[in-house]
Structure 1
């Protein structure tokens, strides 16, 4: 309800569409965040490869949010694929021992948007569960 657009919707499907839209925008923002981070001169060269992977992975994740979503009945699967990309990013960062507070905060924020969209989509795509 923190998003003013949420006040304008009157059914569960519209809430889910709104949640998907917010997750899509957050995914694009996270992709841009990694791209901007890579332009900084003070990034440790040992961390750069993992950050480049994350940038690429979030660019890929954006494409999953650009599919048919609720209208195609594949939003749950699309969200799962996006989560796979975020999880892979986190694994790459961990393997490279990258510990940057802003990165951790950005990934946590993305995960919150993902969780909300995922819950809303499950209600629409699986109303009996």
Structure 2
């Protein structure tokens, strides 16, 4: 079974019908059980934050969005080793972004750094259209589907 980490960007895009065909195919495979989608608590946090800010109008109640996240995706538990490695990815990722003419003003979030580390450790791709995550993830050898 295909396994992918689904980033906040992909979940928001799915809710607003702005997925690319490749990302839409991944999300459809997760929905139909042909693939397994994973998230971690920082992705959960970011999705809930965006919902509370009114950016996910398809979900009307907190219970509805929590049910969607917990039933659609499996949770990856984080530990000290993952957090430590994510801080390393953030430091080097910020340097990579600073050296890129198009991305020099951007910074890698803690959530994106954690997602990249998990993709690397688990050796599974990440579904995301986030430019920072895509650029740094690919530099660390993690496949990003968008």
Point out the structure with the larger helix share: 1
Task: Give the structure with the larger strand fraction.
Answer: 2
Higher radius of gyration, 1 or 2? 1
**Of the two structures, which has the highest relative contact order with CA contacts closer than 8 Å and spacing of 6 or more?**
1
